[in-house]
Structure 1
Amino acid sequence: MEQKLDYQNELSGKIALVTGGTKGAGKAIAERLKNAGAKVIIIARNAPEIPDEDLYFISADLSKAEDVKNTAREVFEKFGKIDILVNNLGGSETPGGGFAALSNTDWEETIQTNLLAPVRLDKAFLPQMLENKSGVIIHIASIQGKLPLHDSTLPYAAAKAGLINYSKGLSKEVSPKGVRVLTVSPGWIMTEASKRMMERISESNKISVKEAEKSVMDALGGIPFGRAAMPEEVAELIGFLVSPRASYLTGTEYVIDGGTIPTV
């Protein structure tokens, strides 16, 4: 059957939820889905600096099971359903210094945020998707799932590797029941936080910002494209994957890293 797709308003009538949706790539993803016609819910610990009345904000710490439970209750009371779930929340706050510098708390908190929070959110919203025999779940992982940086982000890399594997397993279970599950693994993204980090590296090492950016790319083994991704570029990929145009795609990991990973 031939599908007629409206690219300008292709998510009209859809309810989308984006975690970590107030900053960086999460903010860009939320805006991309909104512009495609979806009603978008964003979740983060802190409210966006510039409120957007077209984005429904819920304050929650999704590393805590109780906050996930309360968030799901509010979403269902307000909207009744979720069609698109983008598990974008993630990050690393562990210290440098390699394995020996990492405490049990560093490991536990990182895994709670980067692996268990998406698992709990899926558990909260997936049953309703299965009941409707329709839905899309996106897990935002990282190239560190395959290219770990040992100095300070090993727990993050391990959690993202677990998320990639979990996402594949979940897709095999629920895709036959109408729910698509996909993984997106970005490389370095030039968010506002990344820009501030470049400025700090520049100041502390008495080098230019461009030289600071090159030092980070060198630490990653080089980025053939020559720069970090922009948040909007990651958001555009997500916008396609959750759309009807990607209706046959499930169970796959999409890497968007400018060619950073040196293997096929």
Structure 2
Amino acid sequence: MQKVTVITGGAGGMGLATAKLVGRDHHVVVLADVRQDRLDRAAATLDALGIAHTEVNCDVTDRQAVTELFRIASGLGQLASVIHTAGVSPSMGDAEYVMRTNAIGTVNVNEAFFAVAGEGAAAVNVASMAAHMLPDEMVPTAKFPLALKDPDTFLSEMLAACEIVPPEARSGIAYALSKTFVRWYSSAQAERFTGRGLRVVSVSPGSTDTEMGRLEENAGAGAVVADAAVPRWGTPEEMAELLVFCASPKAGYLTGTDILNDGGVIASMRERARLAAEAAQTGSG
């Protein structure tokens, strides 16, 4: 039976780069995206490469639409993996839109996958280096489980947590919180997934040279490129290589964790903060 990989956000820069690699391994690729125009262009690209594919117009915030996506995928062969790249950046909408898409969308995709996937399949979720930036006291982790049983209350709690900053900054906090949630989900649900013979992991990319990534060129992700140990934008292909590896049988021992692929931004920021604190302490002494 032919193997099938679902890629959400599959018509975006990272998603399409991932589809090209998955197709190279002779998987049938199911591209899901909310924008039909981008799906059409992505399909033409895969046609030119001779990659077997199916496109599904799907909004990941719509649970019924996501369920239908996986029904279609399951009918094409053995569901091997879902690589969930769909998401939005702070520049693309308000805090509620960002949280609903990134956090609740992740629950919808993973829970639909969990319901139909067979033993050995893997879910790979795209988080962000932003998930490694917020202080613990700003993250209402105790409220995260609400996303699985009461999404509306979860959303209200997350938006309340964003009120710590002025309105104009709330989409940025919502982004960091939503990606922290993705990281949490991919760890907290690992044991449950293992009970079904499934794996679940997350990958936290740094500043990536995609259309969405470049929306943050002058703030957010773009502002920290110069601080990276590797001081440049990451490429979609570099991210795709890691995503595909995580989804493959080669990573069969990998589950319940997050892989930070940020060019060393977080490592550099933490070391610089440590050195600054050390210098301040020495100076005050």
Measured after TM superposition, the shift of residue 62 of structure 1 is 1.4
Deviations, residues 84-114 of structure 1 (Å, cap 9, x unaligned):
011111112458xxxxxxxxx9332212210
Residue among 219, 241, 249 paired with 1:244: 249
Paired with 2:212 and 2:116, the residues of 1 have a C-alpha distance of 35
Structure 1 position 165, deviation (Å): 0.7
Percent identical across equivalent pairs? Answer: 26
Aligned to 2:25: 36
Matched, 1:27 2:16: yes
The yes-or-no answer on 1:118 pairing with 2:123 is no
- Equivalent residue runs for 1:1-264 within 5 Å: 13-46=2-35, 47-50=39-42, 51=44, 52-53=46-47, 54-76=52-74, 78-79=75-76, 81-94=78-91, 106-129=94-117, 132-148=118-134, 151=169, 152-195=171-214, 218-219=223-224, 222-262=227-267, 263=270
SS at match of 2:82: strand
For these two proteins, the number of residue pairs brought into alignment is: 227
Once residues 191 and 127 of structure 2 are traced to their aligned partners in structure 1, the CA distance between those partners, rounded to angstroms, is 18
Distance 1:127 1:194, change over 3 A: closer
Moved more, 146-155 or 170-179: 146-155
Q: Which has the higher helix share?
A: 2
RMSD: 2.7
Aligned-residue offset at 1:122: 1.7
Structure 2 residue ranges without an equivalent (≥5): 136-164, 272-285
- Give the Cα–Cα distance (whole angstroms) in 2 for the partners of residues 48 and 23 of structure 1: 12
Preserved CA contact (<8 Å) 1:23 1:48: no
Gaps (5+ residues) in structure 1?
A: 1-11, 96-104, 202-211
- Report the TM-score, using the length of structure 2 for normalisation: 0.71
Change beyond 3 A, Cα 1:61–1:176? closer
- Gap change, CA 1:217 and 1:114, over 3 Å in 2: closer
